[in-house]
């Protein structure tokens, strides 16, 4: 967040500086209203660009084995441009390199889901997906694991819809 605020201010100063330089090279003095107006427009332009390009910039840097499963958009009244077209500001992805099949039961898969949101820390969760029963359960530090690293007992399993991205990815 600090980097975003700092960059926005630098962009504002840079835009104002270009206008001042242009007028100075032209041998004229810039109108008093033009410098702060240019700085404000530059800052708003940068904020809009950052909102709409965040998803593309972040997703293009993901490793090839990470597959994006869902994207989410949010509008905000303090960002009126999001009311016209809402930008993607968070998404979830599954890390293919961390998908593990249970050797004792090939219908059970462990998947790692990564959650990314603009301006927030990245989170990751590990879930057990049972492809036969279409049940999913989160694996936490408190989960008892067998010698293969799979839960010995599943108490909080929840049913998944047939179009759930985690189920589709794990059981394809």
- Whether residue 36 contacts residue 68, with contact meaning beta carbons closer than 8 Å, is answered with no
d(CA 165, CA 130): 14
pTM above 0.85, yes or no: no
User: Per residue in 92-128, pLDDT tens?
Assistant: 999 888 888 988 888 889 999 999 999 899 999 999 8
Q: Considering only CA atoms, which of 96, 172, 86, 171 is closest in space to residue 136?
A: 171
Average pLDDT value over all residues in the chain: 90
Instruction: Quickly state the pLDDT bin for 156 (edges 50, 70, 90).
Output: confident
């Amino acid at each position: 967040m600090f980097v975003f605020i700092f960059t926005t201010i630098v962009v504002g100063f840079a835009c104002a500086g270009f206008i001042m330089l242009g007028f100075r090279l032209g041998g004229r003095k810039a109108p008093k209203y033009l410098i702060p107006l240019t700085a404000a427009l530059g800052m708003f332009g940068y904020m809009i660009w950052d909102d709409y390009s965040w998803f593309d910039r972040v997703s293009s840097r993901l490793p090839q084995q990470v597959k994006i499963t869902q994207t989410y958009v949010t509008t905000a009244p303090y960002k009126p441009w999001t009311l016209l077209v809402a930008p993607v500001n968070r998404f979830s992805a599954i890390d293919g390199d961390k998908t593990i099949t249970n050797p004792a039961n090939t219908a059970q898969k462990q998947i790692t889901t990564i959650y990314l949101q603009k301006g927030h820390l990245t989170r990751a969760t590990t879930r057990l997906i049972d492809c036969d029963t279409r049940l999913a359960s989160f694996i936490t530090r408190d989960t008892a694991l067998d010698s293969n690293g799979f839960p010995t007992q599943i108490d909080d399993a929840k049913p998944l819809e047939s179009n759930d991205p985690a189920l589709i990815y794990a059981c394809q």
